[in-house]
Structure 1
Amino acid sequence: MKNHTSRRVVLQGLIATAIVIGFDPVNRVWVTSASAASLFESLPPLDGVLYTDNTLLASVANDFGHIVHRQAIAVLKPGSVEDIIHIIQFARTHKLKVAARGQAHSCNGQSQVEAGVVIDMSTLNKIYSIGADRAIVDAGVGWRELLQQTLPQRLTPPVLTDYIELSIGGTLSVGGIGGATHRYGVQVDNVLEIQVVTGEGKLETCSLAQNRDLFEAVLAGLGQCGIIVQATIRLIPAATHARVFVLYYDNVATLTRDQRLLINDERFDYVEGQLVADDNGGWGYLLEAASFYTPPAVPNNNILLARLNYIRGTEQIEDKSYFDFLNRLAPVVATLKSIGVWFYPHPWLNLFVPGSVVENYVGEVASNLTLDDTGQGPILLYPVKTNRFQRPLFRVPTEEVIFLFAILRTAVPPEDTVVTRMLSDNRKLFERDRDLGGYQYPVGAIPFSSKDWRQHFRPVWGKLVSAKRRYDPDNLLTPGQGIF
C-alpha cells in the first residue's frame, strides 16, 4: 500500500501542471502530464514506483550517445518482476510502447521510447546466489557488482566488456564482447538460463533445453521479443593477477598477424588492439594482451612473446590484480566525467570486419582518418574466432577469424554539425564493410533503415519475425532500434 500511495502522489502532483511531455504517435495527439497521470490512474498497485515528473522524463530521453532524444510519458522503477508484467499488460491495453533501460550506455536512442514507458532496470539489482559454476542475478545488476561478489570465491564470468559498469541485462541484449571472447565467445554464449517478460506480459523461463526459441530470440535480440529480468551466468575459476603486455607495431598487417597467432594458440587469456596517433599525424598500432595467474605460479615472458614481431624496445609489461585490470577504465572514465567530455555526444562506430580484408580495410580507413574525425576517442581493433559464437542473432561475418573495428568517437566540439558529419562517416564506413561481407555490432550510432535490419539478420530474419509475432504480437517492445 505504501508504494501504491507514493505512485498516486507523484501522479496527482502533476495533474495541476498539465505540461506537454510528448507526442503519442499512435493516437496522433500531444500528451500532457495531466493526461499521462490520468491514464495511469487505472494501473494496478505496484511494488515500485511509476513516475511522470518532467525531470525524470528528461533524464531517460537521453543516453550515453547524447544524439537522440525521445520523450517518454512515464518511467517505471520496478520493485519486482510483477511490476514489469503489470506495466507491459497495461501498455498492451493502451497501445503504449515500452523500452527497458539499464545503464543507458547505448549511443543512438536504443533504450528510449517516444510517448511510451521506460522501465529503469537498475532497481532490480539482486544477486540471488553464487555457486561453483554459476551465478543467478537480476538483469539490473552491473558486471562490476557481480565480479566483486564472485572474486572472493575465486570465480569470474568468462567474458567481461572493457567497461564493467554496464548492466547484465543490457549487454546480454546485444551480445557482450571483450578481450576474452577469442576463448569463450561473447557474454550471451555464457548464459545458462534467463527469465524473460515477453511483449504479451508473460514471465517465461528459457534455456537451450526449455523454450529454446525464446532463449535464442532474446539473447543478442536487441530487446525485440522480451525483457530479460533474471539471468543465470556461467562462472569459471578466477586468477588473482594479470600480467599485462602492451606491444607496439608500425603497420596493421604485422599487428593482425600477431593477433591471429595469439588467438589461435591461446597463449594469452585476453587479446585486444588499438590504433594510436603517432607524431607525424598518422597512426601506429598496439597490441594489448594479458596472462592471468595466481602466485606462486607466474607467466613466462619469453614463451608468451615468442615469434611476435612487435617493435623491439617499445614493449611495456606490468602486473596488476585481476580486478584492477578488468576495472582499468574506471580512472579514465572518472577523468572524462570531471572535465565534461563524458557528456559530449558519442557517435560510435562498431563494425565486424572479415579477416580476409581487414588489413586493406583498416589501412584505407586509417589513411583518411584524423584525430578530429575521432574527437580523440580510442580506435579498437581486435580479433575473435567465430566458432565460439553460438547465439543465432549475434550477427558476424562467416569467416573463421574476424575483427572488431570500433571508432569510439566523441563530438568535439559538441555541436550538431560535428555529430552529423560523424554519423555520415559512420554510414559510409559501414556500407564499405557491409559490401565486403561485414556487419555492424549494434551498440553504436549508424543510421539504419528497416531494410538494413533485414539484411543484418539474414538468413535468420524469418525466425526473428516469427518470434516477434509470437512473443510481442503488438510490437510494443524496444522501438528505438527501428527494426520493426
Structure 2
Amino acid sequence: MTTTRAGVRAGLPRQRGVPSPAEDPPPIPDSGGAPAWKKRINSHELFVHDSIDSLGFDWERVANPGIAPRFPRKIYLPQTTEDVVAAVREAKSLGEQLRVRSKGHSSNDLVVTDGGSVLLTEKLNGILEVDRAGMTATIQAGAVSAQIDDHLSEMGLGLPVIGDHNHITAGGFASVGGISPASHRFGLFVDTIERLQYVTWDGELVTCSREENAADFHKVLCGLGRHGVMATITVRLIDIDKYTTVLKNHQTHYWDVATFIDGAAQAIRNPGEALYERGVWIDFPRGDGGSFGLGQFSAYHPTEQTTYARLRDRVAYDALHGLGYVGGRLPAPLDQALKYVGMTGVVFSPAYATVKNVEFFTDKVLDSTVGDPTRMFIVLAPLDRFEELFRETYDLMRRYRAERDCFTFISVYVKGITSEYLATEGRGKQFCELMFFQGMSAGGMDEQALEDLVTELDDICIAHHGFRYMHTKTSKDPARRAEVDPNAYWTRMAEQQSAAAAKEEIVGA
C-alpha cells in the first residue's frame, strides 16, 4: 500500500493505483482486450467538464446551447477534508456564499454563480480505504463513480449503484439520490451509504452514520449541498466482476403506449430473478402532426457464461459503441441521423450484455449534445401510482409539444426502486422512476413555458405523493419545491430533533 502527499494530509493512506491530485486516473481494466475508446466514450462530446469555460455553465447548456455563461469570480480547489474546512471558514469570514460543484450535471440553478465563489471538488478525488472484510469503501466526495468502480473491479468488487456515465462523482450522486438499473434491488445510491463526513457552513466537521448522528446523516443525503460540503463517503460494496459477467436480456417490445404501460408495470412489480432492468417508450413526431411510438422493457437475468454469450455481447456492443463514438464527429445532418439509429439500437437492445454494458448502455450510445438539444425531467413516485402517473405525465409532454411546438421526440425511461430513504410519511419502499428525455425544438421553450411545464409536472407529482429528482428542473415556487423534494422530510426531522434537544437543555439548566 502506498501513501501520497494528499493521503498524508488527510491522515489516511490511499489505495495503490489510486491517483493523487498530481497523477492521472487509474487505467480502466482491460475487459478482454477492447480498444480504450470503447471504454471511455463521452456521452456529451460537445460539453467538456474539465475546462475553465465549463465553470460558467451547468447542464442547462445541453438543453439551451445559446445560454449565456455565469462565471464565478473565485474558485476553491480543496484536496483534503482540512482544505474543505479552511475554504468554508474563509468564505464565511469574507461573507461569501459558496456553491458546491463537482462536474456540473445539475440543471436547477444549483452549481453556477455569477461573480460568486465556487468550491470545486475536482481534486477531492481519492479512494481512501477499501475494507474487504467489511465490504465498504471510503472515498472522497469528488471521486468519479466510474473510476471508483474500475479500481474496485481489480479486486472483484463493485458499487451496487453507479452513475450511468464517466463524469458522475460520489458527492454529486449522493446529493441528489442516485439511480441505476439495479435500484430495484439496492435502492438509491444514498441507500448504499453507511457513513459520511461533511463540513457545515459554519466550518465544523461532522461525522455521521446510520447509527451516529443519524439525523445529520439523513438530512445531508439528497441535500443538494444546502447543509454543507460532503468530504468523505463510506459506501457498501458487492462481490461482482462487471466487465466479464454476461447477462441474458429478457426483453419485450411494444407498439402502443397502453400495452407498454401495462407491461412495464408488471415487469417492475415482479422483477423475479432480474439483476438489472429498465424500460423505454419513445414517441416520434410525424409530418402530418401526429406521432408514432415504440417501446421495450429489458430485464437482465443470470445466464451460463459461454463463449457464445460473450461473443454476442462483444459484437453487438462494438457496433453500438461505435455509433456513440462517431456521434459528434460528423456533419450535423449525419449526426442527427445517427442519433435516431442509436435510439433504435436502445429499443432493440442486444440479447446479451456484460454488467458494465448494462450500466453504461444508453450513455455510450446516445450523445446528449448531438442532434436536437435535449432536456431531462425526472419523477419518482410510489410504485402503485405507476400507471396513472405515466399517463398523466406523458399526456402533459405530448400536449406541450402539440400546443407549443417545444419538443421533437419524447422518450420515457422507467425503472423500479426499492428505497428506505424515500419511504417516508406513509410511503412504502417500492417506487418507480420516470425519466423524460426530450428533444428540444429550436425556440420552442422560453423561460415562461419551461416554468409552466415544470409547475404542472410538480403538481402531478404532488397529487401522486411522489418526488422530483431535484437536479432536473422544478418549479421555482418554494412551496412546491418543498413538497417534491425527498430531502425535505429528513431536514424537517433533523430540525425538530435539534429544537427538542435545545429545549431539553434549557429545561435541564
Match of 1:455 among 464, 483, 487: 483
Match of 1:390 among 412, 420, 423: 420
Secondary structure of 2:454's match?
helix
Q: Give the TM-score normalised by the residue count of structure 2.
A: 0.68
2:278 equivalent to 1:272: yes
Is the alpha carbon distance of 1:187 and 1:123 closer, same or farther for their aligned partners in structure 2, counting shifts above 3 Å?
A: same
2:124 equivalent to 1:124: yes
Secondary structure of 1:201's match?
coil
What is the aligned partner in structure 2 of residue 285 from structure 1?
A: 295
- Describe how 1:338-349 pairs up with structure 2 within 5 A: 339=370, 344=373, 346-349=374-377
Q: Is the 8 A contact 1:78 1:124 kept in 2?
A: yes
2:474 equivalent to 1:446: yes
Q: Is the 8 A contact 1:411 1:418 kept in 2?
A: no
Q: CA deviation at 1:462?
A: 2.6
**Which blocks of at least 5 consecutive residues in structure 2 are unaligned?**
1-20, 23-49, 310-346, 501-509
**Which blocks of at least 5 consecutive residues in structure 1 are unaligned?**
1-46, 49-54, 300-313, 471-484
Is the alpha carbon distance of 1:423 and 1:188 closer, same or farther for their aligned partners in structure 2, counting shifts above 3 Å?
A: same
CA distance in 2, matches of 1:184, 1:87: 35
Q: CA deviation at 1:96?
A: 0.9
Q: CA deviation at 1:424?
A: 2.5
What is the aligned partner in structure 2 of residue 328 from structure 1?
A: 361
What is the aligned partner in structure 1 of residue 441 from structure 2?
A: 412
CA distance in 2, matches of 1:63, 1:226: 20
Q: Give the TM-score normalised by the residue count of structure 1.
A: 0.71
CA distance in 2, matches of 1:270, 1:255: 18
Is the alpha carbon distance of 1:57 and 1:348 closer, same or farther for their aligned partners in structure 2, counting shifts above 3 Å?
A: same
Provide Cα deviations, 1:259-298, integer angstroms capped at 9, x if missing partner: 4544435320112111112676133332122225572699
CA distance in 2, matches of 1:95, 1:468: 25
Q: CA deviation at 1:411?
A: 3.0
CA distance in 2, matches of 1:213, 1:367: 39
Secondary structure of 1:324's match?
helix
Match of 1:156 among 158, 164, 186: 158
CA distance in 2, matches of 1:396, 1:151: 38
What is the aligned partner in structure 1 of residue 329 from structure 2?
A: none
CA RMSD of aligned residues (A): 3.4
CA distance in 2, matches of 1:403, 1:217: 22
What is the aligned partner in structure 2 of residue 23 from structure 1?
A: none
Match of 1:191 among 190, 193, 198: 193
Secondary structure of 1:291's match?
strand
Q: Is the 8 A contact 1:194 1:207 kept in 2?
A: yes
How many pairs were matched up?
A: 394
Instruction: Identify which range, 242-251 or 266-275, moves more after superposition.
Output: 242-251
Q: Is the 8 A contact 2:260 2:295 kept in 1?
A: yes
Match of 1:249 among 249, 254, 273: 254
Secondary structure of 1:221's match?
coil
Q: Is the 8 A contact 2:381 2:466 kept in 1?
A: yes
CA distance in 1, matches of 2:480, 2:497: 19
Secondary structure of 1:206's match?
strand
Match of 2:388 among 321, 335, 360: 360
CA distance in 1, matches of 2:364, 2:167: 12
Is the alpha carbon distance of 1:102 and 1:216 closer, same or farther for their aligned partners in structure 2, counting shifts above 3 Å?
A: same
Q: Is the 8 A contact 2:276 2:358 kept in 1?
A: no
CA distance in 2, matches of 1:56, 1:330: 21
Instruction: Identify which range, 93-102 or 265-274, moves more after superposition.
Output: 265-274
Q: Give the aligned residue type for 2:413.
A: L
What is the aligned partner in structure 2 of residue 22 from structure 1?
A: none
